[in-house]
Chain A
Amino acid sequence: QSVLTQPPSASGTPGQRVTISCSGGSSNIGRNTVNWYQQFPGMAPKLLMYRDGQRPSGVPDRFSGSKSGNSASLAISGLQSEDEADYFCAAWDDSMAGVVFGGGTQLIVL
């Protein structure tokens, strides 16, 4: 049971806009910034978004992040087949004094 809640799967067709949600509480998302990771099978996760909506160098601007209250979202516009991967949200949790994750969302490009 993950502290942050994500839908287990999401899907879209090429060119579409897809949103992945991440729901938490006042001790994590409500007080701290959210980071997003992209993971392909057999590979280490890759930092996709940090501090709610900042993209590391090299991440296409098709990816965007936002936060409101105790929830955050990752949006992918102009969906491409290579975006098919697992996506995880993460945030510092003040109660646990550590980082908590969402359970991950498998994105399927139809």
Chain B
Amino acid sequence: QVQLQESGPGLVKPSGTLSLTCTVSGDSLSNYYWTWIRQPPGKGLEWIGYVYDSGRTSYNPSLKSRVTMSIDTSKSQFSLKLSSVTPADTAVYYCAREILAGYYNGEWGSWGQGALVTVPS
């Protein structure tokens, strides 16, 4: 059974860059889309984007200018970088995987436990 685990600094200074890594165990990264989703405290979910095993990416247009995602299949990891952060970027950041290989429809059957990243005001 695939497992995902987010890691990275829990505190990022305003105007800095948020960097998170999702480490995958129990399965290969190949042929799957890997997604980042965030949830501000007490609020709803926001799709950040995905990276495919080939390195192809797709980002939320509202975040596109600040987001970079990458994947390292040899390390079983994929990463998120969000630049020029503000307090509005404070959220729990989740990594997730689709239930089916080679298919993208927001059907995330596997999730990390989430990583809270705070940007102080």
Question: Which residues in A have some Cβ–Cβ distance to B below 8 Å?
Answer: 2, 32-33, 35, 37, 43-47, 50-51, 56, 88, 90-92, 96-104
Whether B72 sits at the interface, judged by CB under 8 Å, is no
Whether B119 sits at the interface, judged by CB under 8 Å, is no
Pick the residue among B45, B58, B105, B112 that contacts A101 (CB under 8 A).
B45
Tell me the smallest distance from the CB of B113 to a CB of chain A, in Å.
6
| Complex interface: chain B residues within 8 A of A44 (CB) | 94, 111-114
| Complex interface: chain B residues within 8 A of A47 (CB) | 99, 107-109
* Given known contacts A44-B112, A44-B113, A98-B49, A2 and B44 CB-to-CB distance under 8 angstroms: yes
B contacts with A: majority SS: loop
In the complex, the answer to whether B45 meets A96 with C-beta atoms within 8 Å is no
A96 to B94, CA, bound (A): 21
Please give 15 more A-B residue pairs, beta carbons under 8 A apart, in addition to A44-B94, A101-B47. A2-B44, A35-B105, A35-B106, A43-B113, A45-B94, A47-B99, A50-B107, A51-B105, A90-B106, A96-B60, A96-B61, A97-B61, A98-B47, A98-B58, A98-B59
What are 21 A-B contacts with C-beta separation under 8 Å?
A: A35-B105, A37-B45, A37-B108, A43-B113, A44-B94, A44-B113, A44-B114, A45-B94, A47-B109, A91-B106, A92-B104, A92-B106, A96-B60, A98-B47, A98-B58, A98-B61, A99-B106, A100-B47, A101-B46, A104-B44, A104-B45
| Complex interface: chain B residues within 8 A of A32 (CB) | 105
